[in-house]
């Protein structure tokens, strides 16, 4: 049996089990033995992370050739307009090459847990939310993409990976799914 762990990662938690600098890590939240992250989520990002006990499943989730879609909700500085999504779907140039969204839309603020510390509110600068889906995961990619269209990211939440959503998992909590094999889990829960 293979195991897939869904974890709702809080802000300022490292996507690893140890840290010499004493920062919060996965070990502060996850008590399961033998599971490892399948991909990363930045220290200052929140939301869905996947861990597994299967090297094959880890590769299916995180290897770029499988193009697993990940959806993010970003609170940005400025007002999201339709032209921002148009540019993000056409593609923007980043220092490490072009990047484009599979889908993009302005959205109402989602019902989320409180972030600690909260986002700094500025009276003179509006903020808004955007939903963005990508099929790759370069370092800080969503933040760099929104910045490329003049919408700096204030808060970033990974909402979905494949068919799995963070919405049913409380902050700092896990949910475990099991299947006969890595391929079974991948087909049933991620590729749909």
At 148-165, the pLDDT tens digits run: 999 999 999 999 999 999
pLDDT of res. 124 = 83
CA distance 43 to 173: 17
For this structure, is 93 an active site residue? no
CATH 3.30.70.580 fits 1-66+163-192, yes or no: yes
Same topology between domain 1-66+163-192 and domain 69-161:
yes
Where are the chain's structural domains?
1-66+163-192, 69-161
pLDDT of res. 36 = 95
Which of 19, 28, 42, 184 is an active site residue? 42
CATH tag, 69-161: 3.30.70.1560
pLDDT of res. 192 = 64
pLDDT of res. 126 = 92
* Residue 67 pLDDT exceeds 90: no
* Residue 139 pLDDT exceeds 70: yes
% of residues, the chain, pLDDT over 90: 81
Which of the residue ranges 43-52, 72-81, 94-103, 133-142 would you say has the lowest mean pLDDT?
A: 133-142
At 39-65, the pLDDT tens digits run: 999 999 999 999 999 999 999 898 878
């Amino acid at each position: 049996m293979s195991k897939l762990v869904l974890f709702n990662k809080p802000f300022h938690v490292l996507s690893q089990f140890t840290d010499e600098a004493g920062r919060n890590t996965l070990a502060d939240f996850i008590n399961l033995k033998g599971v490892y992250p399948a991909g990363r989520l930045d220290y200052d990002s929140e939301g869905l992370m996947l861990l597994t006990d299967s090297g094959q499943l880890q590769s299916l989730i995180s290897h770029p050739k499988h193009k697993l879609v990940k959806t993010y909700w970003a609170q940005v500085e400025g007002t999201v307009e339709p032209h921002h999504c148009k540019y993000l779907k056409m593609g923007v140039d980043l220092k490490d090459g072009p990047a484009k969204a599979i889908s993009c839309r302005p959205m109402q603020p989602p019902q989320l847990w409180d972030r600690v510390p909260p986002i700094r509110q500025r009276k003179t600068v509006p903020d808004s939310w955007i939903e963005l889906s990508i099929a790759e995961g370069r370092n800080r990619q969503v933040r760099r993409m929104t910045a490329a269209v003049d919408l700096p990211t204030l808060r970033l939440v990974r909402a979905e990976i494949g068919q799995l959503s963070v919405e049913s998992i409380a902050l700092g909590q896990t949910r475990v799914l099991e299947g006969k094999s890595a391929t079974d889990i991948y087909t049933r829960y991620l590729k749909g």
